Amino acid sequence: MNLSGFQTRPAEFSHLSLRDLLAARDQYHVFLMQHPNVVATAVGRYRIRKRDSWPSKSGKGSVHGSYPRTLENSEVRDYSWPALLVFVETWVERTLLAKQDDAALPKCLYLPDGRQVPICVVEAPKERLTDIEARDIRYPVNNIGGGSAILARVQGQDYAATVACLVSDGHKVYGLTNRHVAGEEGEVVYSRSNELA
């Protein structure tokens, strides 16, 4: 297995705890998100490409791919060590990254006590389209209440949820819905009613 760039043996990575990984993610998340193509970070175990060979004592004939690592073509194996997962929108070969200043992600990050946390880069392109078509929605004729659709438009995208129930403080009536639709305080949301023919 090619571990060039790591100054620590993989066995030492296995001693990293979930708390260590979360501390590294909290410390470096903003730094990592400034890199081109990075769309998210997470903690987990280092993902190995499914076509990569398992480690052997001889190391002869071992396969270590350099093609894009995705969630579909990689797996967590028995020897996968704890790592910080960094998701990128587009996989770029390391040889091309070498030509761009500060574009390559480091192979590991350092905790304050000097221990290393490995980075596992995973390609995860954004998917903006879905093959599932929305069904025709039936809106109520004359009232808005539990089950009614709530709509919001944020940065050119439509978001939808439903009113779970109506509650009152004795003066006003409020509709409870999902936060991803309600947004920040003062955000305007909409609903619809069917027009009578």
Q: What is the pLDDT of residues 51-76, one digit of tens each?
A: 988 877 556 667 777 889 999 999 99
pTM of the complete model: 0.59
pLDDT tens-place string over residues 143-161? 777 777 777 777 777 777 8
Query: In terms of pLDDT, which residue wins out, 23 or 2?
Result: 23
Nearest CA to 163 among 186, 139, 141?
Answer: 139
* Domain ranges, ordered by start, for the chain: 10-123, 137-192
pLDDT tens-place string over residues 90-101? 888 766 665 665
The DSSP element (H or E) to which 12 belongs, if any, is helix 10-13
Looking at residue 77, its pLDDT comes to 92
What gap in Å lies between CA 176 and CA 25, rounded to an integer?
A: 33
Looking at residue 98, its pLDDT comes to 56
